[in-house]
Amino acid sequence: MKTEPLNLPFPSVPAMLRDCGERFCDRDALSYKKDGQWKSLSYGQFYQRVLMAARGLGKLGVEPGEKVAILSENRAGWVIADLGILCARAVTVPIYATNTAAQVSYVLQHSGARIVFVSNRLQYEKLLAVRDQLPELETVIAFERFIGDKSLPVFHLYQLSEISHPISAAEQQQIETQMAEIGPDDLLTLIYTSGTTGVPKGVMLTHANFLIDARIGLDRLGGRNSRETFLSFLPLSHVLERTAGYYAALMSGSRIAFAESVDKVVENIVEVQPTAMVSVPRLFEKIYSRIYENVHLMSPPKRKLFHRAVEVGRQYVYRRYIEGKPTGLLGAKYRFYDRLIFAKIRQKFGGRLKFFISGGAPLDKTINEFLWIIGIPAFEGYGLTETSPAITLSSREQNRFGSVGRPLEHTEVKLAEDGELLVRGPQVMRGYYRNEKATSEAMENGWFKTGDIARIDEDGYVYIVDRKKEIIVTAGGKNIAPQPLENELKLDKYISQAYVYGDRKPYLVALITPNLERLIELGHEKNLDYFDIEELVANEKVRAVFAERIEQLNEKLPSYETIKKFVLLPRDFSVEGGELTPTLKLKRKVIYEKYRERIESLYDQNGTTANQNHQGETA
């Protein structure tokens, strides 16, 4: 580990914003779509809007260290509110827009926030639904105009900011004076964990936590002078987007364009023509699946040409980026196929996209290789909310497929006796808010316990095996990581999501959700009569196809890792359905409880299978 000083670029995030407002005054900072048109705020305008929000919060009596919440989807108002809170020397408490009213109530009660920013009436109504549980809630500030209830008055952000009254020189000096009092070790935010492992905990992160993680990450990916256009669609409430797609973007003077919604991401990519994006693997899985579905529809000669191009691309990527050797004739072949095929694929993503940053869950090795082959590499990182988030990160110069990269500078990692990854570094949280017991359990002699099982190779590359608490231990004593199996299943064109189960059982089973587009095509191909999707997934011919696809995967696995039986569900896992976190990770406990009867029905009373053939069921 390097021992040089941390060399923070700024003492605080507000100091960084002030610098941006001066240095990049006329450069676009934020872009958003309104009334069908893309609009932008320059860094100078953005800074003034933040100062106005800070002025308004000051008039509401916000004190240094006070907690102020944001309950909103990604939009310009989110970051104006966040930075306004920070410039008022307060602490931002983000809440996922997908949270239920009960979850919102818990965060507000635990954090003690009396002021909440909301995006629209839908989010406001969550507050109304739990109004009697929130006696300390005083003020709601909305990004959209609507009439609130008398029991909970609502004001518009423009009213708070007094938008028609520009910041005077005296007001600006007063706010900037209080901004200068913010230090690197001051608390910046409380981010409540998604609760996949129990009751949500408020992670305390400082200005230094974010600033050092953003700076080192930028340096690894090309430096702070790299001016990019980020398309933002992951929740800003999540630490990955907060650091990599927001604070790091501001640090480099880049432009942040907010996608209209997750469903509009593909459309917005073409419109915005981003150069960089932060995402979780689910987006890449869909991209990979869609491209190969189109390849399947090609004529045999074109299909053969595509596969030849991919094979040449794979050889080129390994030769250049993994082995670091001259490419020679192979490079010429790759450039030929790049002009002929890969450049056309990149045009589907706006034509300017240079790289993805992937985090939140393991990215399948095959998909990552493919992204590098087509010329849009995914730099995979690893971390947690508690580590701001990045602990490791790959780059063009440091990459091994299947790995999450090497540790960031100033960061130490090691393995505990049971293989759990431990980390020590400047990005590690201060602790859990009002929860000393959980804080002490998470730390061991200055090392943070990640809860993930990992291995570290001789070159320092880290490979995540699985969550420590999610490792399946079969009745036969075999330890099996479910995520690699689930990722393999999701590569199949007919499968959208997969959940593998088998803890203390004699064999593994799976819940499978179908790719609905491919499922309907399958129904047409086989001339099946059906009333709805539930009837279609119950059809014996459909189940036989899925059984065959799973058997093809089983042929590559040791017997104890094979999927013996499965349930085919009529709908996908979703955030709204409760099976996924806001960053699209499986809520394993929730899924098991929700489908307990169907899962347990795949085992007989003695926990053994009547035969070793696939026995598909439908939900």
What pLDDT shows up at residue 353? Answer: 97
**Domain at 471-618, CATH from 3.40.50.720, 1.10.1380.10, 3.40.1350.10, 3.30.300.30:** 3.30.300.30
208: its two tokens: 């230094």
Q: For 13-275, which CATH class?
A: alpha beta
How long, in residues, is the chain? 619
CA angle 411, 89, 55 (to 5 degrees): 140
Residue with tokens 């058997």: 551
619 pLDDT tier (thresholds 50, 70, 90): very low
What pLDDT shows up at residue 584? Answer: 84
Of the candidates 454, 583, 459, the one whose C-alpha atom is nearest the C-alpha of residue 74 is 583
What pLDDT shows up at residue 4? Answer: 54
611 pLDDT tier (thresholds 50, 70, 90): very low
At CB < 8 A and 24+ separation, what contacts does 168-175 make? 171/51, 171/55, 172/51, 175/51, 175/54, 175/55, 175/58, 175/87, 175/88
Amino acid letter for position 132: D
Q: Output the CA torsion sign for 113, 116, 121, 123.
A: negative
SS3 content of the chain, % helix, strand, coil (to 5): 40, 20, 40
DSSP assignments along 534-574, one per residue: HHHHT-HHHHHHHHHHHHHHHTTS-GGGSEEEEEE-SS---
Q: Is-contact 288 370, C-beta < 8 A?
A: yes
Of the candidates 467, 486, 586, 481, the one whose C-alpha atom is nearest the C-alpha of residue 196 is 586
Name, in order, each residue with C-beta under 8 angstroms of 236's C-beta and a sequence gap of 6 or more: 74, 78, 79, 82, 94, 242, 246
Residue 614, pLDDT above cutoff 70: no
Please tell me what DSSP assigns to residue 428.
S
566 pLDDT tier (thresholds 50, 70, 90): very high
162-189: b (≥16 Cβ within 10 Å) or e? eeeeebeeebbebbeeebeebebebbbb
Q: Is-contact 44 21, C-beta < 8 A?
A: yes
What pLDDT shows up at residue 282? Answer: 84
Least confident window among 350-359, 547-556, 596-605: 596-605
Q: Give residue-wise pLDDT tens across range 431-474.
A: 999 999 999 999 999 999 999 999 999 999 999 988 888 888 88
Mean pLDDT of 536-549: 94
Of the candidates 382, 481, 457, 470, the one whose C-alpha atom is nearest the C-alpha of residue 425 is 382
Q: How far apart are CA 257 and CA 255, in angstroms?
A: 6
Residue 2, pLDDT above cutoff 50: no
Domain 279-351+354-469 listed as CATH 3.40.50.12780: yes
229 vs 585, residue with greater confidence = 229
Amino acid letter for position 170: A
Residue with tokens 């305390």: 204
Phi-psi region of 430 (alpha: psi -120 to 50; beta: other; left: phi over 0): alpha
Distances (CA, A) of 104 to 100, 118, 164, 195, 199: 6, 12, 32, 13, 13
Residue 194, pLDDT above cutoff 80: no
Q: Is-contact 508 521, C-beta < 8 A?
A: no
Chain-centroid distance, C-alpha 323: 30
**Is 471-618 the same fold as 279-351+354-469?**
no
DSSP assignments along 374-404, one per residue: TT--EEEEEE-GGGSSEEEE--SSS--TTS-
286-304: b (≥16 Cβ within 10 Å) or e? ebbbeeeeeeeeeeeeeee
Residue 617, pLDDT above cutoff 90: no
Residues β-bridged to residue 467: 452
Q: How many helices (H) and strands (E) does the chain have?
A: 23, 28
Q: Give residue-wise pLDDT tens across range 230-247.
A: 999 999 999 999 999 999
- SS3 letters for 577-591? CCCECCCCCECHHHH
Distances (CA, A) of 321 to 326, 397, 400: 10, 7, 9
Domain boundaries, the chain: 13-275, 279-351+354-469, 471-618
What pLDDT shows up at residue 477? Answer: 79
Amino acid letter for position 298: M
Q: What SS3 state is found at 87?
A: helix
What pLDDT shows up at residue 296? Answer: 87
Residues β-bridged to residue 38: 33
Phi-psi region of 259 (alpha: psi -120 to 50; beta: other; left: phi over 0): beta
Q: How far apart are CA 82 and CA 178, in angstroms?
A: 16
Mean pLDDT of 246-275: 95
Amino acid letter for position 519: L
Q: What is the enclosing helix (H) or strand (E) of 203?
A: strand 202-206
What pLDDT shows up at residue 558? Answer: 86
- How far the first Cα of the chain sits from its last, in Å, is 52
* Mean residue pLDDT across the chain: 93
What's the pTM value of the predicted model, to 2 decimals? 0.87
